[in-house]
Chain A
């Protein structure tokens, strides 16, 4: 991809992906889902998930699965609020850029 994905956008994408799963989701699946949109390496998301967890945007719980514990991530209320903020910002940002690219004039 030509465009950089900044830390905020990456946070927003991860929050959006986790938000879709009401029952929560796990690291490997999050990475695969994020990869549908942007190209991230397997090691990119751990720090992001950890940070979001520390910021109380994600909560973590372990579920036993096939004789071992699988770590699940679930969005918190705060995470939802943050995601909504990102959504609004994104609409603002992307519509302006789109306008600019299409040669239209903004007010």
Chain B
């Protein structure tokens, strides 16, 4: 193929690209050939392989979808199997399946090599050159979240052990609630009892039996004093003790959970 033919074919292939991008690309390759000189023309044509491949490279970076030919957008960004490395090293070939799982971005060095059998069928397995880097500055790191299997495992463990932790949560929660209610009720009943005795005492004093009246009034006041103490206690229980126990449980849970995660 001659250089002119290559350029005119490339132009045809870039018809669906915006005029600006098309002109940019065409002028780049035009001057590329000119700068390389006629003596390098054949070599470059051979290395560029085909106008189709060059056009696909350009479109891939513009994020244009090329079903069947180019890459595709996935949850990990733009993936293009043509950029996935066909590795020239033998060792890696045998392990290419596992390797493709972790291979976040490969920018195929391989395709300048003699072997250029691009495997389109294997697309799903390979994560190629990912285009997410284009806009996101440092978004070039590979996807590092939990895998689906891990999440599934955690959910399964949670469901299987649910009788235990549901019982625990229910028991501890119920106990704490009971404690809070009990403390408040004790304080409340002491107030009621104190006021009742005090009232009865006043009644006795008014009706004449001073000794009984004073005794009842005094007892009522003592009980009211206890009620005030119980109020302080219940405020302490509700405001300090229960939150502290909750925090303690939280810490315990965290340490158990962190431990389990390390095991996985």
Interface residues of A (CB under 8 A from B): 1-2, 4-8, 10-11, 26-29, 31, 38-44, 46-47, 49-51, 54-55, 68-71
CB distance from B54 to the nearest CB of A (A): 5
B31 is an interface residue with CB less than 8 A from chain A:
yes
Contact partners of B27 in chain A: CB under 8 A = 69, 71
Residues of B1-52 contacting chain A, CB below 8 A: 21, 24-25, 27-29, 31-32, 34-36, 44, 47-49
* 3 residue pairs, one from A and one from B, having the closest CB atoms: A47-B61, A28-B35, A41-B112
A14 to B230, CA, bound (A): 76
B contacts with A, residue count (CB < 8 A): 41
CB distance from A93 to the nearest CB of B (A): 12
What residue of chain B has the Cβ atom nearest to residue A10's Cβ?
B107
A29 to B27, CA, bound (A): 15
CB distance from B94 to the nearest CB of A (A): 14
A54 to B135, CA, bound (A): 9
Residue from B32, B34, B103 with most neighbouring chain A CB atoms (10 Å): B32
Sample of 13 further A-B pairs with CB below 8 A, known A40-B109, A42-B47 = A2-B89, A4-B85, A4-B106, A6-B107, A8-B140, A10-B107, A11-B133, A27-B31, A42-B44, A46-B54, A46-B57, A47-B58, A55-B134
One of A6, A28, A38, A68 near B106 (C-beta < 8 A): A6
Contact partners of A50 in chain B: CB under 8 A = 21, 24-25, 28, 61
**Please, could you name 17 A-B residue pairs with CB atoms under 8 Å apart, sorted by A?**
A4-B85, A8-B138, A11-B133, A31-B32, A39-B113, A41-B48, A42-B44, A42-B112, A43-B47, A43-B54, A47-B60, A49-B28, A50-B24, A50-B25, A54-B134, A55-B134, A68-B31
> Are B28 and A71 neighbours in the complex by a CB distance under 8 Å?
yes
What residue of chain A has the Cβ atom nearest to residue B56's Cβ?
A43
Contact partners of A11 in chain B: CB under 8 A = 133
Contact partners of A26 in chain B: CB under 8 A = 31, 35
User: Contact mask B61-102 → A, CB, 8 Å, 1/0?
Assistant: 100000000000000000000000101010010000000000
CB distance from A84 to the nearest CB of B (A): 13
CB distance from B133 to the nearest CB of A (A): 4
A8 to B107, CA, bound (A): 10
> Are A28 and B36 neighbours in the complex by a CB distance under 8 Å?
yes
A40 to B83, CA, bound (A): 12
Name B's interface SS: helix
Name A's interface SS: mixed
What residue of chain A has the Cβ atom nearest to residue B47's Cβ?
A42
Contact partners of B123 in chain A: CB under 8 A = none
B217 is an interface residue with CB less than 8 A from chain A:
no
> Are B53 and A6 neighbours in the complex by a CB distance under 8 Å?
no
A70 to B107, CA, bound (A): 27
A8 to B139, CA, bound (A): 9
CB distance from A71 to the nearest CB of B (A): 6
> Are B140 and A42 neighbours in the complex by a CB distance under 8 Å?
no
> Are A4 and B35 neighbours in the complex by a CB distance under 8 Å?
no
CB distance from A28 to the nearest CB of B (A): 4
Tell whether A42 pairs with B129 under 8 Å between CB atoms, given A4-B103, A7-B105: no
Contact partners of A27 in chain B: CB under 8 A = 28, 31-32, 35
B191 is an interface residue with CB less than 8 A from chain A:
no
B130 is an interface residue with CB less than 8 A from chain A:
yes
